[in-house]
A and B are shown apart, each in its own frame.
Chain A
Amino acid sequence: MDSKFFLYKKKFISAIMMSLTFVAALVAIVPLVLIFYYTISKGITYLNFSFFTAMPKPVGELGGGMANAIVGTLILIGIGGSIGVPVGIMTGIYLSEFGKNKFGNIVRFLTDVLSGIPSIVVGVVAYTLVVVPMKHFSAFAGGIALGILMIPTIIRTTEEMLKLVPHTLREGGLALGIPKWKTTINIVLRTAWKGIATGVLLGLSRAAGETAPLLFTALGNRFWSTNIGQPIASLTVYIYDYAKSPFEDWNQQAWTAALVLIMLISILSLLFRIVTRSKYKMN
């Protein structure tokens, strides 16, 4: 009888603990679901073809789109990516393959510090280094700020992913008489490529969602511009401006811009997955 009692007790406690973790998981996804619910339900009203193709209308006129901001965001993460991705990946390679020394440790430490720096501070730095000497706001300055923000994420994931590649693969390559740099690129990097791409994507998405560093670098632009030497519009800055404006119409458009931003990142993520899909089973 006793043993049966203990068995039930154990099962009871087990059930309680399991339900607790389940409830915690529910609580964790509630904000996520709410974000999706609000952005989709509120954003969808203004989501139509012209939102992607039309320019913003002046205050008081209804309708209009954010073509300039969508293109602006793409240009900004393009500039940021062309700085952050190569620097990040190559630094990651250095740290994982050659960085077992003092310099490597310093870089690793500074990378961690950099990843903890608030994005607005990075914006201030880009302002001081680029905007002030150029004497005007520009997409270029915004791109640099975003690029700097991507770097730590990309470095860290690249390093971690490369470290996951078994040492025996490196030895396998070297033992064939393949020089170290070719082994690193063609064997090690290719094996870890999928994980690195996830890191790159994470960096790009984070950059695409930044507002603060753009406020005093890329500034924003009500007009069509693809000139990287000039101020440029971005979805996030539009969301910021429109959401705090007193106009109902603009508030609505801010939701739509948020929805478009989420869609943009999802599409990017999907593309990455297709491109980096591995041909073979890896383990």
Chain B
Amino acid sequence: MDIKLSIKNLDAYYGKNKVLNNISIDIPRNKVIAIIGPSGCGKSTFVRCLNRMHEVVGGTIKGSIELDGKEITNVDPVLIRKKMGMVFQKPNPFPSMSVFNNVASGLKLNGFGRKKDMAQVVEKCLKQAALWDEVKDHLNQGGMELSGGQQQRLCIARALAVNPEVLLMDEPASALDPISTTKIEDLIFDLKKNYTIIIVTHNMQQAARVSDYTAFFYVGDLIEYNETQKIFTIPDKKQTEDYVRGRFG
């Protein structure tokens, strides 16, 4: 297996409160990994540890995270975040920017890109995010003027523009209607050709539909991590089975 991210003995804390216990996972390249589990189990914290957003809200971690075999827990978080794009639960386009500038923001504010290339990158990313056809005539409109589903795809395009290797999605469809959700799921399917995707989801069917591997978290512990098909048919642990069958959680 070609490992993109290797997490070993990861503990995460909020102050003195331990929220993740000794998590070890190997995440293969160009696959979709779903993180499932009941609320408060540490799913979001886990993905936020990976791009060092956990420390933005005052959290701390112990353990090791390797990206392509290189330790990233002691590197400047700014460098890590360029390699790991993130899509949040609630669409968060920048209100003061147009559709175009939202997508270009990562490049512009990181000081890359000439104007000519920028238009190409924006078009490419909006196409990748399956939004181009809907917004190509409204690139100068404000980012907040799009519908909720479009805003979320705009945020995906924005994340893709900085050319990340990993895409972290924290319940990207939970605030969206079914049609927008389907669009996002189709998108994930296309994107995994080029990106390693980690998606947190509350929706079991979604995890089953989009992911290759699934990790089941429960109160800060990793209970089981395996191929999605196995997790949803014959999981090793009773706890996992109960959860995916909807008996608790």
Contact = CB atoms under 8 A, between A and B. Distances in A.
A283 B106 contact: no
Contacts of B88: 168, 171-172, 175
A173 B155 CA distance: 11
Contacts of A186: 105, 109
Interface size class of A (residues with CB under 8 A): 20 to 34
B211 interface: no
B131 interface: no
A178 B110 contact: yes
Contacts of B179: none
A173 B142 contact: no
B81 A280 contact: no
Given A171-B92, A279-B142, A281-B142, A176 B53 contact: no
Contacts of B83: 177
B79 interface: yes
A41 B167 CA distance: 67
Given A175-B159, A176-B106, A177-B78, A283 B95 contact: yes
A280 B143 contact: yes
B141 interface: yes
A280 B142 contact: yes
Interface stretch (A1-9, A21-29, A187-195, A242-250): A187-195
Nearest to B105: A176
B20 to A, nearest CB: 19
B96 A187 contact: yes
A10 B159 CA distance: 56
B90 interface: yes
A166 interface: yes
Q: Which of B98, B109, B144, B162 has the most CB of A within 10 A?
A: B109
B94 interface: yes
B55 to A, nearest CB: 10
9 contacts: A168-B88, A172-B158, A175-B159, A176-B106, A176-B162, A177-B110, A178-B105, A190-B94, A279-B98
Interface of A: 166, 168-179, 182-183, 186-187, 190-191, 193, 278-283
Leading 4 A-B pairs by shortest Cβ distance: A280-B142, A177-B82, A176-B106, A175-B86
